[in-house]
């Protein structure tokens, strides 16, 4: 058993670390960011058509370049008049998707942890391997959570986010938008609002924080009270985000399997008869 354990610490741990590095390098490449040391080429631009399940109230094309939305071309059909409003990002503007940026940073931190223990390094104990695996798994879990858990926002936060200022022509005060990632989907939510008259605010109750607010949600912004009258959510699948989520799952499984092997030997060590 002792020989087997030494072999595990010396050979198999490094084989798993190498495999993990290869998978995570592939994941990192999916974010379209050149690795350090390579000349930085122009990132690939991808266009995505937004599909809608709500009677085509919102249509659009989004242009994604790595972690940045470089263009958003959106048509919104106004509920009352059926008039179609058209908005596009100003040429000098782009919107950073913080979720993608954070996920990429966590992947790169996991890679740094793995590269700090190259093949010349000798692990002396199972606990040392477990410590490394826990640190790598923490980064991978955080990366996955950033893509699977969009940030909750209040409606005033959304109104103040600066996103409405990205468009030409400027969006009217009764329309708000939000972009976020949910799993492998890039989502756009459009809120149509109406101003609550002073005599109708006796039942006013400010809505809390949420990823997606429902019609009827109320909020106050710049001393004006609003109610959400219509909500339209459209989304498109980003294939490379799906790839990264698969890589995260495989990597987490590899880490756990190595921890389980260490655990088998550790329990034998702790309970062997003297």
Give the Cβ contact number of residue 37 at 10 Å.
Answer: 5
pLDDT: which is higher, 9 or 208: 208
Q: What is the mean pLDDT of the chain?
A: 86
Ranges of beta strands (E only) in the chain are 45-52, 58-65, 68-77, 84-89, 95-96, 167-168, 175-182, 185-195, 218-221, 224-237
pLDDT: which is higher, 169 or 3: 169
Position 2 scores a pLDDT of 63
Domain of 265, in residue numbers: 1-270
CA angle 53, 55, 56 (to 5 degrees): 85
Q: How far is CA 115 from CA 52, 110, 180, 223, 224, in A?
A: 44, 9, 32, 54, 54
Peptide bond into 106 cis (omega under 30): no
What are the percentages of helix, strand and coil residues in the chain, rounded to 5?
40, 30, 30
Q: How many structural domains are present in the chain? A: 1
- Cα(20)–Cα(259) distance, integer angstroms: 14
Contact 181, 211 (CB under 8 A): no
Position 263 scores a pLDDT of 82
Whether residue 272 has pLDDT greater than 50 = no
- Provide the pairing of β-strand 45-52 with 84-89: unpaired
Q: Sign of torsion, CA 18 19 24 25?
A: positive
Position 38 scores a pLDDT of 47
Position 191 scores a pLDDT of 94
């Amino acid at each position: 058993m002792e020989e087997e354990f030494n072999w595990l610490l010396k050979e198999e741990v490094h084989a798993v670390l190498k495999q993990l590095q290869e998978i995570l390098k592939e994941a990192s490449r999916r974010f379209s960011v050149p690795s350090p040391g390579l000349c930085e080429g122009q990132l690939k631009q991808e266009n995505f058509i937004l599909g809608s399940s709500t009677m085509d109230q919102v249509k659009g094309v989004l242009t994604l370049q790595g972690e940045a939305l470089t263009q958003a071309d959106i048509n919104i059909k106004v509920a009352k008049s059926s008039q179609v409003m058209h908005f596009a990002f100003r040429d000098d503007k782009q919107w950073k998707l913080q979720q993608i940026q954070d996920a990429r940073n966590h992947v790169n931190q996991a890679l740094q942890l793995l590269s700090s223990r190259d093949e010349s390094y000798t692990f002396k104990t199972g606990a040392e391997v477990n410590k490394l695996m826990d640190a790598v798994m923490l980064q991978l879990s955080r990366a996955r959570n950033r893509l699977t858990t969009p940030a909750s926002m209040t409606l005033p936060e959304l109104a103040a986010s600066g996103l409405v200022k990205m468009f030409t022509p400027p969006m009217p005060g009764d329309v708000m938008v939000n972009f976020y990632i949910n799993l492998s989907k890039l989502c756009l939510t459009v809120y149509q609002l109406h101003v609550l008259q002073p005599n109708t605010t006796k039942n006013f109750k400010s809505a809390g924080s949420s990823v997606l607010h429902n019609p009827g949600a109320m909020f106050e912004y710049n001393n004006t009270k609003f109610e959400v009258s219509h909500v339209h959510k459209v989304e498109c699948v980003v294939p490379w985000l799906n790839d990264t989520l698969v890589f995260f799952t495989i990597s987490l499984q590899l880490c756990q399997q190595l921890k389980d092997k260490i655990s088998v030997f550790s329990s034998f060590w702790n309970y062997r008869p003297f």
